[in-house]
Amino acid sequence: MQKKWLFRNTETEYGSSKKSFLTKNKTSLFLLLLSFAFISIGIYRDETATVLTKSINICLECIGIG
Protein backbone atom coordinates (compact mmCIF):
# COMPACT_ATOMS: atom_id res chain seq x y z
CA MET A 1 0.00 0.00 0.00
CA GLN A 2 1.48 3.34 -1.05
CA LYS A 3 1.30 6.09 1.56
CA LYS A 4 1.77 9.73 0.70
CA TRP A 5 3.89 11.71 3.10
CA LEU A 6 4.66 15.35 2.99
CA PHE A 7 8.02 15.11 4.66
CA ARG A 8 9.30 11.61 4.08
CA ASN A 9 10.37 9.80 0.95
CA THR A 10 8.41 6.63 0.46
CA GLU A 11 8.76 3.42 -1.46
CA THR A 12 6.22 2.61 -4.11
CA GLU A 13 4.87 -0.87 -4.65
CA TYR A 14 7.33 -1.23 -7.54
CA GLY A 15 10.26 -0.68 -5.17
CA SER A 16 11.36 2.66 -6.62
CA SER A 17 11.82 5.70 -4.40
CA LYS A 18 9.11 8.36 -4.50
CA LYS A 19 10.30 11.73 -3.29
CA SER A 20 8.24 13.75 -0.84
CA PHE A 21 6.66 17.06 -1.79
CA LEU A 22 9.31 18.96 0.17
CA THR A 23 12.18 17.06 -1.44
CA LYS A 24 10.88 17.55 -4.96
CA ASN A 25 10.17 21.24 -4.47
CA LYS A 26 12.85 22.36 -2.05
CA THR A 27 14.21 24.98 -4.46
CA SER A 28 10.87 26.61 -5.17
CA LEU A 29 9.88 26.53 -1.48
CA PHE A 30 13.19 28.16 -0.57
CA LEU A 31 12.56 30.82 -3.23
CA LEU A 32 9.08 31.36 -1.85
CA LEU A 33 10.49 32.08 1.60
CA LEU A 34 13.13 34.30 0.02
CA SER A 35 10.44 36.27 -1.80
CA PHE A 36 8.60 36.97 1.46
CA ALA A 37 11.86 38.12 3.02
CA PHE A 38 12.62 40.39 0.05
CA ILE A 39 9.15 41.91 0.05
CA SER A 40 9.44 42.56 3.79
CA ILE A 41 12.84 44.20 3.35
CA GLY A 42 11.45 46.29 0.52
CA ILE A 43 8.54 47.48 2.67
CA TYR A 44 10.97 48.29 5.49
CA ARG A 45 13.13 50.34 3.07
CA ASP A 46 10.02 52.19 1.95
CA GLU A 47 10.34 51.11 -1.68
CA THR A 48 6.55 50.89 -1.75
CA ALA A 49 6.37 54.67 -1.64
CA THR A 50 8.48 54.87 -4.80
CA VAL A 51 6.31 52.29 -6.57
CA LEU A 52 3.11 54.01 -5.48
CA THR A 53 4.32 57.48 -6.45
CA LYS A 54 5.29 56.27 -9.91
CA SER A 55 2.07 54.33 -10.48
CA ILE A 56 -0.47 56.95 -9.37
CA ASN A 57 0.94 59.62 -11.66
CA ILE A 58 0.57 59.29 -15.41
CA CYS A 59 3.85 57.85 -16.67
CA LEU A 60 4.62 60.16 -19.57
CA GLU A 61 7.46 57.88 -20.70
CA CYS A 62 5.12 54.87 -20.80
CA ILE A 63 2.52 56.61 -22.96
CA GLY A 64 5.09 57.91 -25.42
CA ILE A 65 5.44 61.52 -24.43
CA GLY A 66 8.77 61.17 -22.64
Partner 1 sequence: MANILNSIKNHIRLCVQIVFTAITNGYFYGFATGRIYTGRSKTVCVPGLNCYSCPGALGSCPIGSLQAVLANRNYKFSFYVVGFLILFGSIFGRFICGWLCPFGLIQDLLYKIPFFRKHKNLPGHKALIWLKYIILAVFVIILPLFVLDIIGQGSPWFCKYICPSGTLTAGLPLLAANEPLRQATGFLFQWKLLILIVLILLSVAFYRPFCKYICPLGAVYSVFNPIALYRYQIDTKRCIDCGKCKSACKMDIDVCKNPNSPECIRCGDCIRSCPVNAIGRLHR
| Integer Cα distance of 2 and 17 in angstroms | 11
Asked whether position 42 contacts partner 1 by CB under 8 A, the answer is yes
| Integer Cα distance of 53 and 48 in angstroms | 8
Asked whether position 63 contacts partner 1 by CB under 8 A, the answer is yes
Cβ at position 22, least distance to partner 1 in Å: 11
Q: With contact defined as beta carbons under 8 Å apart, do 2 and 10 qualify?
A: yes
Size of site (CB under 8 A) for partner 1: 36
Three-class DSSP category at 17: strand
Residues of the shown chain interacting with partner 1 in the complex, contacts defined by CB under 8 A: 21, 24-25, 27-29, 31-32, 34-43, 45, 47-48, 50-52, 54-56, 58-66
